[in-house]
Amino acid sequence: MGFAPRVARGFFPLDKALELAPGAFSPRLCEGIVRLGTLIPFAQVGGTLAQFTQVEIGAETARAITERAGAVLAGVQTAEAERLRREAPEAPAGHPSNS
């Protein structure tokens, strides 16, 4: 009997088709973790998530995923605020915001 050739670690095409992000969780599951992480203590997220998805996670995983999503949101909001400041029209002369 022969041996199978060596393989390298690679990208699984189904990951792209299913729109899986890098990591162990689908975008929909991450969304659920984040929603729960903003509503209840991180220590309770794992048990609540498991009731609906049969996926078990620890408090630190819930915290990390929720905080990462919060950082992304803060970045998006900061970029949008900067864009609005750049594109805002000038206030009329004599307006209190020009003093």
How far, rounded to the nearest angstrom, does the alpha carbon of residue 77 sit from its chain's CA centroid? 14
What is the structure's pLDDT at 23?
72
pLDDT at residue 92, rounded to an integer: 83
Give the pLDDT confidence score for residue 8 in this predicted structure.
66
The identity of residue 7, as a single letter, is V
How far out from the chain centre does Cα 11 lie?
21
SS3 call for 79 = helix
Per-residue pLDDT tens listing for the chain (99 residues): 677 677 666 656 666 665 556 678 888 999 999 999 999 999 999 999 999 999 999 999 999 999 999 999 999 999 999 999 999 888 887 777 665
pTM score, whole prediction: 0.68
How far apart are alpha carbons 11 and 13 in whole angstroms?
6
